[in-house]
Amino acid sequence: MTELIQRRDFLKLAGMGVAVFVSGPTVLAGGSPQKRNESFYFVQLSDTHWGFNGPAINPDSQGTLKKAVAAVNALDEQPDFVVFTGDLTQTTDDRKIRRDRMAEFRDIVSQLKVKTVRFMPGEHDASLDRGEAYQEFFGDPYYTFDHKGVHFIVLDNVSDPTAAVGEKQLQWLQADLKQIERDARIVVLTHRPLFDLVPEWDWATRDGAAVIDALMPHPNVTVLYGHIHQEHHHMTGHIAHHAAKSLMWALPEPGSVPKKAQIPWNSAEPYKGLGFREVEAEVRQARYDIKEFSMKG
Amino acid sequence: MKRLALLFVAASLGYLHQETIARSEPRAADNERVIRISASTFEFTPSHVTVKKGVPVILELTSKDRHHGFKLAQFQVQVDIKPGAVEHVRLVPNKTGTFTFFCDVFCGDGHEDMSGTIEVIE
């Protein structure tokens, strides 16, 4: 723990990171007593779109994910786990190509030193076949896991092509939340924003409000997601939502242009807007410090 | 009856800009203009329509190939369009401007470019 705190403080002092603080009460819930005070960190990667081919957008489409894996492997301290928040692969109508891309993606990320890797689908992975291929390769599209006093909830808002979580999953979520204490530390991982960020850009979840309503009674909830290909922070009441960068292309700021379009590659600033993040969890304070990493050539 | 009452309340509050009507035939008796919009990967045809402020129109929506969506957020319109089905939406344009409609059901590699515009003029 001491090492982690020193490391975090170093990052702040060096001005390298963006720190996001989520405050909560000091009364802890859940987890075994010896684990309640632990701190840990994990890495979030998102929107890798393996299989995308567009030299004007990313001439290193075959190399960016591999560079990110190498960058994570080169971190001084290895994270407890790595999470990919969807759009692992670029969509295709071809069932075989879809599976080929997932197999290639899985092979590449198997090179991570960290062997605990969590996945969830994006619409590019799952919306055309309702998650059939995704589940063959990566298992359940929604699930929970607990780590050192934090309850992680992975939600699937893409296997239904209408961008809905759906009644069945919503009931599953409500049942899960009933089983944990009200002030448990909860991190929700999902692909699309659960709130209406820019609906006309398809940056929303059709029934996201129902998910947020279910989470609202819990005071210590943070949501990490992808989909919008940029860092973004938003509050719905006391619930913080943090979007991550992509590892394939960047997109404009929400609503900043009339029509959403991929930002072309800039050879003067290669990989601009692409990156991944570390999330350091201070479990006692229900606080998450986020440090953004930018990809470089 | 309840539905009619709810519609009346919503309209009186100024919230109602569209009405999804029976998913069969438009209301011929109304003499309202019917605008047919067809969806296919990855475009709407036509992709631009012009209507007059305050003049109701019926949008007749179909899909040529797969499940698409039609969302016109500024007028609270959202309809799923599936092959073989014909969807009708009554739209009362109550403000001028150019508004984007788009497919909000993920349909493939060109999904994010699948949009069109409705121009509302005086």
Residue B17 has a pLDDT of 44
Of A232, A220, A230, residue with least CA distance to A288: A220
pLDDT by 10s per residue, chain A, length 297: 333 334 443 333 333 333 343 333 222 333 443 445 579 999 999 999 999 999 999 999 999 999 999 999 999 999 999 999 999 999 999 999 999 999 999 999 999 999 999 999 999 999 999 999 999 999 999 999 999 999 999 999 999 999 999 999 999 999 999 999 999 999 999 999 999 999 888 999 999 999 999 999 999 999 999 999 999 999 999 999 999 999 999 999 999 998 889 999 999 999 999 999 999 999 988 899 999 999 987
A275-282, strands of its sheet edge to edge? A117-120, A81-85, A39-45, A275-282, A287-294
Strands (E), A20-87: 39-45, 81-85
Q: How far is CA A234 from the centre of its chain?
A: 15
Mutate to test the interface with B, among A128, A134, A196, A263 (most CBs of B within 10 A): A128
CA distances from A236 to A70, A221, A251 (A): 35, 11, 23
pTM recorded for the entire structure: 0.86
Dihedral sign (CA A293, A155, A192, A89): positive
For chain A, the domain total comes to 1
CB of A9 less than 8 A from some CB of B? no
Q: Which domain holds residue A159?
A: 2-294
What is the residue type of A97? I
pLDDT bin (cut points 50, 70, 90) of residue B30 is low
Amino acid at A26: T
- Domains, chain B, ordered by start: 17-121 (2.60.40.420)
Bridge partners, A146 (sequence order): A151
Kindly report the CATH number assigned to the domain that includes residue A12: 3.60.21.10
Q: How many CB atoms lie within 10 A of CB A172?
A: 17
Give A91's contacts in chain B (Cβ within 8 Å).
106, 108-109, 111
- Taking a contact as any Cβ pair under 8 Å apart, which residues of chain A between 208 and 247 contact chain B? none
User: What is the pLDDT, as a whole number, of residue A36?
Assistant: 54
> For residues A134 and A159, is the Cβ–Cβ distance under 8 A?
yes
Q: Band the pLDDT of B82: cuts 50, 70, 90.
A: very high
Q: Are A72 and A108 in contact (CB under 8 A)?
A: no
Inter-residue contact A84 to A50 (CB < 8 Å) = no
Whether A128 has its CB under 8 Å from any CB of chain B: the answer is: yes
Q: What was the ipTM of the complex prediction?
A: 0.83
Vertex A220 angle, CA A23 and A48, to 5°:
95
Would you say A75 and A291 are in contact if contact means Cβ atoms under 8 Å apart? no
Complete DSSP assignment for A240-283: EEEE--BSS---PPTTSSSS--PPPP-TTSTTTTBEEEEEEEET
Which chain A residue has its CA at the smallest distance from B71's CA? A200
Chain A CB within 8 Å of residue B105 CB? yes
Is the separation of the CB atoms in B114 and B107 below 8 Å?
yes
Q: Do B105 and A163 touch (CB under 8 A)?
A: yes
Residue A77: count other Cβ atoms within 10 Å of its Cβ.
Answer: 10
Residues of B in contact with A158 (CB under 8 A): 106
Contact criterion met (CB below 8 Å) for A61 and A53: yes
* Residue B77 touches partner A, C-beta closer than 8 Å: no
Burial label for A217, CB within 10 Å (0-12, 13-18, 19+), is: exposed
| Interface contact flag, B105 A161, Cβ < 8 Å | yes
User: Are the CB atoms for A224 and A37 separated by under 8 Å?
Assistant: no
Based on the number of CB atoms within 10 Å of its own CB, is A126 exposed (0-12), middle (13-18) or buried (19 or more)?
buried
State residue A285's pLDDT score.
87
| Helix-helix angle A167-178:A208-215, to 10 degrees | 10
A14 Rama sector, left if φ>0, alpha if ψ -120 to 50, beta otherwise: alpha
pLDDT for residue A200 = 83
Contact B104 A90 (CB under 8 A): no
A124 touches A132 (CB < 8 A):
no
